[in-house]
């Protein structure tokens, strides 16, 4: 199993951010797989909280597409509603939350509302869902996105999910009492956010710095200790493919 897709290394890198025994707010798409991978490997004690009201400490009973699928409810610890799981976030009990998006900027602000095209046209996107809630209230925010110049932009057209704003004290000034982006995982590498600005800390195997810089809309800063993201192991790939057997998310 030497070959893997960009989505698979993104899932693997995201899973490694989950700490054992923490409450994880699990978003749709790749985060669903990252949670199940972490549960099956290094974080068996992690507890997944899903915005529809599912709280579970086991991977789903069978492959799922959405958090509302039947196998994600079978064997759950608790099935409740939005208000209850969001209160866990608001109370500060959730260690890590995942979100994706259409655009992210150097401060980790995420846009899932609208993209302004040259010439005045605007593309309307679906919106926040629980993304803004997670970005405001989770202990650490993890952003997962394909690495393209049109997505990693100097300034997002709309802040759906607030990151570090524009400087380190911005969140506090807004009234946010915790959180902020801890990592941005892309199809080319992994960023961290020292002083509230994205810094490339690892490149996926086979990706050059020039390639990453060309696909980044801001002036790419990389860590002096830039490393190579560990490739997914055979065991990790086997688990990911068990939960996404038709490669719906990880093609």
Residues tagged active-site? 51
Report the nearest approach of another protein to the CB of residue 144 (Å). 14
Q: Is 169 in the site for another protein (CB under 8 A)?
A: no
Interhelix angle 234-243/30-40, rounded to 10 degrees, is 130
Contact track, another protein, 37-66, x by CB under 8 A: -------------xxxxx------xx-xxx
Which token pair is 206? Answer: 């086979």
Stretch that binds another protein, among 15-23, 84-92, 184-192, 227-235 (CB under 8 A): 84-92
Residue from the set 17, 40, 160, 229 that interacts with another protein by CB under 8 A: 160
Total of chain residues touching another protein, rule CB under 8 A = 57
Token code pair at residue 114: 């609208």
Do residues 14 and 34 touch, judged by C-beta distance below 8 A?
A: yes
The residues that bridge with 145 in the sheet, in sequence order, are: 186
Please give the Cα distance from 48 to 57 (Å, whole number): 6
- Does residue 202 belong to the site contacting another protein (CB under 8 A)? no
Beta bridge partners of 203: 189, 228
Q: Residue 114 region, left (φ>0) first, then alpha (ψ -120 to 50), else beta?
A: beta
Smallest separation, CB 232 to another protein (Å): 25
Q: Both tokens of residue 43?
A: 């974080």
Residues within the interface to another protein (CB under 8 A):
28, 50-54, 61-62, 64-71, 73-75, 79-83, 86, 89-90, 113, 121-133, 135-137, 158-162, 165, 170-171, 174-177, 248
């Amino acid at each position: 199993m030497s070959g893997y897709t960009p989505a698979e290394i993104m899932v693997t890198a995201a899973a490694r951010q989950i700490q054992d025994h923490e409450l994880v707010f699990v978003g749709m798409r790749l985060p669903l797989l990252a949670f199940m991978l972490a549960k099956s490997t290094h974080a068996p004690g992690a507890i997944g909280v899903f915005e529809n009201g599912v709280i579970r400490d086991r991977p789903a009973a069978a492959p799922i597409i959405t958090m509302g699928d039947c196998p994600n409810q079978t064997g759950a610890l608790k099935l409740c509603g939005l208000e209850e799981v969001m209160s866990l976030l608001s109370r500060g009990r959730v260690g890590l939350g995942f979100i994706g998006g259409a655009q992210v900027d150097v401060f980790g602000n995420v846009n899932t509302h609208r993209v302004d095209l040259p010439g005045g046209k605007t593309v309307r996107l679906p919106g926040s869902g629980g993304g803004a809630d997670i970005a405001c209230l989770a202990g650490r925010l993890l952003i997962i996105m394909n690495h393209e110049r049109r997505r990693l932009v100097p300034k997002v057209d709309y802040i759906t999910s607030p990151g570090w704003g524009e400087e380190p004290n911005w969140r506090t000034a807004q009234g946010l009492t915790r959180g902020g982006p801890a990592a941005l995982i892309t199809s080319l590498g992994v960023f961290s956010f020292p002083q509230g600005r994205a810094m490339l800390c690892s490149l996926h195997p086979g990706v050059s710095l020039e390639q990453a810089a060309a696909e980044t809309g801001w002036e790419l800063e990389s860590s002096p200790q830039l490393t190579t993201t560990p490739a997914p192991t055979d065991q990790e790939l086997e688990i990911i493919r068990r939960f996404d057997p038709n490669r719906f998310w990880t093609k």
